[in-house]
Structure 1
Amino acid sequence: MHQLEWIGIIRHGESVGNVAAATAEEEGADLIDIAERDADVPLSDTGEKQAEAVAGWLEALPDDERPDVVVVSPYVRTKQTAEIALKGLDIPTVRDERLRDRELGVLDLHTVHGIQSKFPEESKRRQRLGKFYYRPPGGESWADVLLRIRSLLRDVAEDHPEQRVLFFAHDAVVSLFRYVLEGLDEEELMSSAKESPIANCSISSWRWSDKGWANELYNDVRHLEQDESAHPTAEEGVDAPAV
């Protein structure tokens, strides 16, 4: 069985959708005011600065510690993050739709208040099933996202054996990478997601050994804290409300 040497994953920088979602929640609105479809939401000015801080982190790595290949979600905010972070570095990059964010179907762009107001039965169903297994109509559960992540990791290991691979993706995807690589159960995953929301442009990484995957960094933002213009933010994705 083929195996990677190292896996890293970075959440995209703050997007204008993250900002709009936070504003809508604070104001008690039913809907998040975003003109673009979710896949086309770009980075905010802060998100661009955060991506530049990731570029500094990558540039500071020794040559033998840099990624051999990068795999990126096709969403605009994720592509922009990767483009800024990798500028000037000669690292092969591919896009893979299996890294896209979790899809919410009919609940897309609704705030927590909006879901409770317009879809009260769905809110109750989610509470009964739990966030891990709840699938909104036309959308995905976290367990659904896991199916594509497992498929992706298997294919990437097959294509890049014993290499260092860096992924650029979304908050739920980062949490589910940890679930797969560290062998968490549902309770451990949900507890981690609640206690440590994945920050924009945070870095998580694991290294392979004969004992399995060993975590090196998780949700690390020290590179952001060193730059006032790239301060850490951790707004949830606009398609992943905490209903």
Structure 2
Amino acid sequence: MSEKIREKAEATTLVFFRHGKTGFPEERFYSRVDDPPLNVEGKSQAERLGRWVKGSSFSALYSSPLKRTIETAGYLSKGLNLKIFPKTGLEERTMGEWDGLTPAEARERFPREFLKWKGDLLQYSPPGGESWVAFAERVMKTVQEIKEFHPNQRVAVVTHVGPIRVLVSRAMEIKDENHKRIVLGYGSATRIDYTKNWGNLYYLGVIPFEQVP
């Protein structure tokens, strides 16, 4: 019998919450420039998360410092009675000078750079922005810091779709080029239990309506 069979082991549990919806057009690249807040639907989604976690046991609550995540974390903070710890490493990928543009606008304004990016979606950095690889390394480093600070504890983390895709991809050994096939709704929850040797995906993109497992 293989020694690699995954037996139950002590684990650090991280529950990653995607922020609620904003009014920012979904066809545009992620934007730090506009930093949009939650819209009415997004506030409802965040409020639902707050009700879902109420009474659950978490050791800490971390959040990306952008408006949509901090606002979402506020509802969780009330439900969990925990202070929010902002961490810049949990921010969405920055696209630099392309932040807030549609792909068509980026192609029109930066034709040469856009072609380079399309030719190497993982390694190429948009002007002033992050490559996917650099972004993934930043996210993994940040989450490693959280895990080391909270060994064998359960921690809530409010972040964005990009970081959660990175974390799920790495935990499940999914190739980076397939990250966009991981679909996560606004106001959803994803849980990864990190043992000494690997991450176990417990649930993915759950839209909560019962007590958090």
TM beyond 0.5: yes
Aligned to 1:230: none
Shift of 1:88: 4.2
Change in Cα spacing, 1:56 to 1:114, as seen in structure 2 (3 Å) is same
Question: Contact between 2:165 and 2:182, CA under 8 Å: does it hold in 1?
Answer: no
Q: What letter corresponds to residue 12 of structure 1 in structure 2?
A: H
Correspondence 1:49 to 2:56: no
Q: Please list, as runs of the form range in 1=range in 2, the aligned pairs for 1:148-227 lying within 5 A after superposition.
A: 148-187=138-177, 190=178, 192-193=179-180, 195-209=181-195, 212-223=198-209
Aligned to 1:90: 81
Deviations 1:129-175 (A, max 9, x none): 12x22310100112111222222122212211111111101111110
Correspondence 1:122 to 2:113: yes
Question: Contact between 2:20 and 2:72, CA under 8 Å: does it hold in 1?
Answer: yes
Question: Contact between 1:12 and 1:169, CA under 8 Å: does it hold in 2?
Answer: yes
Question: Contact between 1:68 and 1:92, CA under 8 Å: does it hold in 2?
Answer: no
Aligned to 2:7: none
Identity of matched residues, %? 24
Shift of 1:113: 1.7
Question: Contact between 1:4 and 1:165, CA under 8 Å: does it hold in 2?
Answer: no
Shift of 1:127: 1.7
Question: What secondary structure does 2:193 align onto?
Answer: strand
- Cα distance in 2, alignment partners of residues 209 and 99 from structure 1: 21
Aligned to 1:16: 23
Change in Cα spacing, 1:88 to 1:171, as seen in structure 2 (3 Å) is closer
Change in Cα spacing, 1:134 to 1:219, as seen in structure 2 (3 Å) is farther
Give the alignment's TM-score, normalised by structure 1.
Answer: 0.74
What's the Cα RMSD here? 2.5
Shift of 1:214: 1.5
Question: Contact between 2:50 and 2:79, CA under 8 Å: does it hold in 1?
Answer: no
Q: What letter corresponds to residue 112 of structure 1 in structure 2?
A: P
Give the alignment's TM-score, normalised by structure 2.
Answer: 0.83
Change in Cα spacing, 1:157 to 1:137, as seen in structure 2 (3 Å) is same
Question: What secondary structure does 1:217 align onto?
Answer: strand
- Cα distance in 2, alignment partners of residues 196 and 7 from structure 1: 18
Change in Cα spacing, 1:196 to 1:213, as seen in structure 2 (3 Å) is closer
Shift of 1:181: 2.4
Runs of 5+ in structure 2 lacking a partner?
1-9
Change in Cα spacing, 1:151 to 1:223, as seen in structure 2 (3 Å) is same
Question: Contact between 1:11 and 1:170, CA under 8 Å: does it hold in 2?
Answer: yes
- Cα distance in 2, alignment partners of residues 178 and 159 from structure 1: 21
Question: What secondary structure does 1:207 align onto?
Answer: strand
Question: What secondary structure does 1:223 align onto?
Answer: coil
- Cα distance in 1, alignment partners of residues 195 and 89 from structure 2: 26
Aligned to 1:73: 64
